Amino acid sequence: MSRHLPPLRALQAFEAVARHLSFARAAEELCVTPAAVSQQVKLLEDRLGVVLFRRGARLGLELHAAPAAAALTEAFDRLARAADRLVPETLARPLVVSAPPAFASRWLVPRLERFHARHPEIELHLSATLRLVDLEREGVDVAIRYGSGRYPGLQVERLRLEEVVVVAVPRLAERLRHPADLCAAPLLVNQTMGWDPNFPDWPTWLDGAGVTPASALRLRPFGDAALVIEAALAGLGAALVWRTLVCDELASGRLVALFPGRPLSSAYHLVCSPERRHRPGLEAFRTWLLEEAVNR
């Protein structure tokens, strides 16, 4: 049967822009430049003789072919699932796992040796990113996400609740017996926490402890959670951190929790597409991960 289709790259570019309503985000997904995406969309518009997007300074991109875009999304999803079936499940294929960088480096990676010891037949590829990856389009089998747990269309299981805790090395902890003592101590700051509105900054945490600083706090900023934890381990100050990321250091005594932790409304979740839920490698990883999450 003969099919007269527009160029596949042009259709793929249009579908990605329609989903994101952004040439830049579509380009990031497709691993090309925004100019290349724009060129492919223009090629499709010229071939079909239609205007697919209206570009407005105030409203941004306005999609003019929403039903067609939705149909293409469904078609590409079906194509991806069909491509998966070309490789029999009996053949070895890496299990691709996506996780937030700090969680991956500080909690997951130190435990992976136990997974490999239990399942030496499974090759696991770990990708660390804060971006909410598209599992189907990016070839990710399973992801670990931190948030509310509302991920439409995906199978979601909660791994563990999270709480924020103040930590310091033992020699510094000896001088920080009460929350008010923090006002005179160096306080380590994660500059990238703006994306999580549930995570308190130091003034908010101190206010919740009933402390009003009499002078400016001694804040020491760092670029991400992993750097804050390393700075705390180096004795550079007290840190506000997720307990999960320092549970090994707390267990070993390298860090001390100064005060009781405060629960957060967000949690870590294991997510996957329903179609891949029962892949043998994925099921093995899921079972192992749930055990590790319970045992900390």
CATH number reported for the structural domain that contains residue 22 in this entry:
1.10.10.10
pLDDT at residue 164 in the model: 95
Q: Do 123 and 245 have their domain in common?
A: no
Region of residue 189 (phi > 0: left; psi between -120 and 50: alpha; otherwise: beta): beta
**What's the confidence (pLDDT) of residue 211?**
94
> Mean pLDDT by 10-residue block, N- to C-terminus, for the chain (296 residues)?
73 84 80 84 85 70 80 76 58 82 93 95 91 82 90 89 95 95 95 82 95 93 92 97 94 96 92 80 92 82
Q: How high is the pLDDT of residue 152?
A: 85
Is 213 found in the same domain as 251? yes
Predicted pLDDT at 285 = 94
Mark whether 139 and 279 lie in a shared domain.
yes
By the 8 A CB rule, do 217 and 234 touch?
Answer: no
Domain co-membership, 154 together with 272 = yes
Q: Kindly state whether residue 1 falls inside one of the protein's structural domains.
A: no
What's the pLDDT score for residue 286? 93
Residues 24 and 168 grouped into a single domain: no
Structure token digits, residue 110: 């130190």
pLDDT value of position 84: 60
What pLDDT sits at residue 55? 72
The answer on 289 and 209 residing in a single domain is no
The residue segments making up the domain with residue 61 are: 8-85
Q: How far is it, in rounded angstroms, from Cα 143 to Cα 77?
A: 18
Are 24 and 167 within one domain? no
Same domain, 169 and 254: yes
Angstrom distance (rounded) from CA 217 to CA 219: 6
Domain termination site, one of 64, 85, 106 = 85
In a domain, 137, yes or no: yes
Residue 282 in any domain: the answer is: yes
What is the reported pLDDT for 227?
Answer: 93
Show the DSSP H helices in the chain as ranges: 8-20, 23-30, 34-48, 66-85, 101-103, 112-118, 170-173, 202-208, 225-233, 243-252, 280-295
CB 188 within 8 A of CB 156: no
Using the structure block, give the residue that is written with the tokens 């033992």: 170
Q: Which helix (H) or strand (E) holds 220?
A: strand 218-222
Question: What's the whole-model pTM score?
Answer: 0.68
Query: Which residues are bridge partners to 146 per DSSP?
Result: 268
* Count of C-beta atoms within a 10 Å radius of residue 269: 21
Residue 254: CATH number of its domain? 3.40.190.10
229 and 287 within one domain: no
pLDDT of residue 243: 94
Domain boundary pick from 85, 113, 139: 85
270 SS3 class = strand
Last residue of a domain, one of 23, 57, 85: 85
Identify whether 219 is part of a domain: yes
Question: In sequence order, what are the residues at sequence separation of 6 or more whose Cβ sits closer than 8 angstroms to the Cβ of residue 117?
Answer: none
Q: How many domains does the chain have?
A: 3
CA distance 171 to 51: 67
